[in-house]
Amino acid sequence: MTWRVGGLGVEILQGDLTTQDVDAIVNAANSDLQLGGGVAGAIARAGGPEIQADCDRIGSIGVGEAAITVGGKLKARHVIHAASMQLGGRTTAENLRRSTRRSLELAREHGLRSIAFPAVGTGIARFPLAECARIMIEEVANHARGETSLEAVRFVLFGADAEAAFRTEAERQLS
């Protein structure tokens, strides 16, 4: 199902983020931009070493910030790295909100039309799934009410629990 917020379509599905044919996929990143485990590791394996090389060129960013790199061998042309935690740390609600907002701003600044997000911070950083869905969908809805180049936001989730949490929140906020 697709929800509409202004001119923006929001889709929620279970799948593999690294195979999405969008302008950018979002990495659940640490502030050192080190592509280790979880979503970041999957992106590094699928996209190749040029993504980490681009991260190394950028260097560390602040927690709650985001950075954009090449997409390497991915279908997506770019990876937006949403730094919701320090390396080995945990995600907070405020850092998740800020890094999601900054990811959407970078998409707009680069004229991107489509973006795919995972459930940022819910894996290694152990952020609560329902709260993640609430915050991320809220930020997408707020972004859609302003000026944006985005036409499509896709949440590509690992597992039925994540998909259900995001669908429930989309129904609540976007219907």
Look up residue 47 and give its two tokens: 């996209």
* pLDDT, position 141: 97
Residue 152: HSE in the Cβ half-sphere, 13 Å Cα cutoff = 16
* pLDDT, position 160: 96
Q: Which helix (H) or strand (E) holds 29?
A: strand 24-30
Q: Are strands 114-117 and 2-5 parallel, antiparallel or unpaired?
A: unpaired
Structural domain containing residue 126 = 2-174
Domain count, the chain: 1
Residues 118, 110: contact at Cβ < 8 Å?
Answer: no
* pLDDT, position 100: 98
Strand partners, 89: none
DSSP labels, 141-159: HHHHTS--S--EEEEEESS
Count, residues in the chain: 175
SS3 state of residue 163? helix
* pLDDT, position 109: 98
CATH code, domain carrying 77: 3.40.220.10
The burial of 175, by beta-carbon neighbours within 10 Å (0-12 exposed, 13-18 middle, 19 or more buried), is given as: exposed
The angle formed by the CA atoms of residues 40, 45 and 51, to the nearest 5 degrees, is 65
CA 101/CA 65 separation, integer angstroms = 9
What is the largest distance, in Å, between two alpha-carbon atoms of the chain? 42
CA 84/CA 91 separation, integer angstroms = 5
* pLDDT, position 149: 98
pTM: 0.97
Low-confidence ranges of the chain (pLDDT < 50): none
